Amino acid sequence: MRTLPPVSGTVILDIDGTLVDSNYHHALAWWRAFRQSDVVLPLWRIHRSIGMGGEKLVPALVGEDREAEIGDAVRDAEAILYFELMREVVPFAGARELISTLKEREATVVLASSAKEFEVEHYLDLLEARELADAWTSSADVTNTKPEPDLVSVALEKAGGGDAVMIGDSVFDCEAARRLDVPAVGLLSGGFSREELGEAGAATVLDSLETLMEEIEDTPLGAILRA
């Protein structure tokens, strides 16, 4: 196995859809939550909004008037429904290996998520990442969720600043990073296309974490390698 040079900066890793295969579980939970409020939406439309925070997702799908009527009820229901599905979520191949490799290369690793705290806690255990990651975030850390850049800003603060690269799976990840001039690597694991991720700001788009590991030197991570 070849020895890779160390990293001098921060790697901000999205969790849902990037490290764990959860996007479609979330889409189903939101579909069921909306249905409890007598709103039936095509699943594909819900999927297109996965990556937003719940306070943005509901009005994006049903409008501001319906948000005022049912928004809180839908979000509360989704939390319960996703909790029931969460046990079926598994890490993507290479997820923990990537975190471990980045730490071996002396990167500061922040797991950046605007998910609820109980979800983030579950993912940390699922990935066995508590002793690896330098820091992590949850919905408690931000007021405005993606595509607003707040989450990326908080992750940078937790890392102590410096050069950084964002790795995510959604157009919202890439747009949030772009707003702070943080280079982004987009992964196809979230269900967004290569073209969409590129238009949202991804400098590189790859199909999986395993491909990222193989081509890491040719991604924006290469720009923060020590000389």
| Structure confidence by residue, pLDDT tens digits, 136-162 | 999 899 988 899 999 999 999 999 888
Where residue 46 falls among pLDDT bands split at 50, 70, 90? very high
Region of poorest pLDDT, from 23-27, 106-110, 197-201: 106-110
pLDDT at 166: 97
Average pLDDT, the chain: 92
User: 218: which DSSP letter?
Assistant: G
Q: What is the 3-state secondary structure (H, E, C) of 79-129?
A: HHHHHHHHHHCCECCCHHHHHHHHHHCCCEEEEECCCCHHHHHHHHHHCCC
User: Is the previous residue joined to 147 through a cis bond, with omega within 30 degrees of 0?
Assistant: yes
Give pLDDT, residue 196: 97
pTM over 0.85: yes
Question: CB within 8 A of 25, min separation 6: which ones?
Answer: 82, 85, 86, 88, 89
Cα separation, 159 vs 35, whole angstroms: 40
Q: Are the C-beta atoms of residues 71 and 59 closer than 8 Å to each other? A: yes
Separation between Cα atoms, residue 99 and residue 111, nearest integer Å: 9
Beta-bridge partner residues of 170:
none
Q: What is the Rg, in whole angstroms, of the alpha carbon atoms belonging to the chain?
A: 17
CB 191 within 8 A of CB 45: no
pLDDT at 8: 64
